[in-house]
């Protein structure tokens, strides 16, 4: 989340006339993240998050907004979109599609402990189960086709070793077809800064704007690669065991998922190495932006390719 499109108090005051939210009291830009423009909005009825979508089209957005409403209404701590007086979730502000969602309590964690990873694994599995009754579908826009297209735009910026590594990983991933694996709604970006905690209790899952339909265990692999690693990218075994076993207790990973886990872990690292490379070499101008280091996921990808995990022991 960042601020790419500036919104003034007066502009927002006029825009909010479509919402039954009372008087506008405060507007504050949110600097973290790298894709959409986000603000905290405080009115006389409460606090909300305003998102202006910088890349998504209006046709894509009902999936995300309806999904958040569905999950919130099925007991998942997701933000609930706020409907206008005309009952729609989506509007337009400063020429960009825009929406308001409820602001959840809690804060993100810099250094999660095993107890937090246990909570994360449990809630992620519950979200996957709740998503099974969501009727809409969307293919993953950052899947293998995107990997290949994005790779062509970043390869000229890489040194010889990095180019060879990226090309080899794309070839490796092209050899896997995961049609037999359980699929459904995934968050696809469940990093620590997209999860809120109050003490040891998980209170919110946020930023659903990469959500899509894909392999469920791939979503778990994305989460593990952020929550269960040390600064050098190596897996922290107590946190890893806590997350995997908690997830497995709610939604058991089948034999095919367990066998595919190494490739999925590498795919999860590849996806974020590529996106960070793209953001580094093709930056989007913004008032408040927060670029992230692509080398972190290059190291994670290298490590995942060399590790052997005893999933049976971790899932016990």
Rg (CA), the chain: 20
pLDDT, one tens digit per residue, over 206-243 is: 999 999 999 999 999 999 999 999 999 999 999 999 99
- pLDDT-derived band at 308, boundaries 50, 70, 90: confident
Q: What is the pTM of this model?
A: 0.93
- d(C-alpha 181, C-alpha 189), whole Å: 20
| In the chain, beta strands by DSSP E | 24-29, 37-43, 46-52, 91-93, 96-102, 183-186, 195-198, 201-205, 212-215
pLDDT, one tens digit per residue, over 84-102 is: 888 799 999 999 999 999 9
Structural domains of the chain, ranges and CATH numbers in brackets: 9-102 (3.30.200.20), 114-315 (3.90.1200.10)
- d(C-alpha 63, C-alpha 84), whole Å: 17
């Amino acid at each position: 989340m960042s601020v790419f499109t500036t919104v003034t108090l007066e502009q927002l005051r006029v825009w909010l006339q479509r919402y039954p939210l009372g008087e506008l009291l405060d507007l504050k830009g949110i600097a973290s993240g790298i894709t959409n423009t986000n603000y905290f909005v405080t009115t006389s009825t409460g606090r909300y998050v305003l998102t202006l979508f910088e890349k998504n089209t209006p046709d894509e957005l009902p999936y995300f907004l309806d999904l958040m409403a569905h999950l919130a209404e099925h007991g998942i701590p997701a933000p609930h979109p706020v409907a206008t007086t005309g009952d729609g979730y989506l509007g337009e502000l400063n020429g960009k599609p825009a929406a308001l969602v409820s602001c959840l309590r809690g804060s993100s964690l810099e250094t999660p402990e095993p107890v937090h990873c246990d909570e994360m694994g449990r809630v992620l599995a519950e979200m996957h189960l709740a998503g099974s009754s969501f009727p809409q579908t969307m293919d993953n826009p950052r899947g293998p086709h995107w990997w290949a297209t994005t790779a062509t735009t970043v390869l000229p910026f890489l040194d010889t070793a990095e180019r060879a590594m990226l090309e080899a990983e794309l070839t490796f991933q092209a050899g896997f077809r995961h049609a037999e694996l359980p699929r459904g709604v995934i968050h696809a970006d469940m990093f620590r800064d997209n999860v809120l905690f109050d003490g040891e209790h998980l209170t919110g899952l946020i930023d659903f704007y990469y959500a899509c339909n894909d392999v469920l265990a791939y979503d778990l692999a994305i989460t593990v690669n952020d929550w269960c690693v040390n600064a050098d990218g190596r897996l922290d075994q107590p946190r890893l065991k806590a997350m995997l076993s908690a997830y497995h207790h709610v939604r058991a990973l089948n034999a095919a998922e367990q066998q595919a886990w190494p490739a999925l872990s590498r795919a999860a690292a590849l996806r974020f190495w590529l996106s960070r490379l793209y953001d580094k070499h093709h930056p989007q101008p913004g008032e408040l932006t927060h670029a992230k280091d692509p080398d972190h996921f290059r190291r994670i990808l290298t490590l995942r390719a060399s590790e052997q995990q005893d999933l049976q022991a971790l899932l016990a």
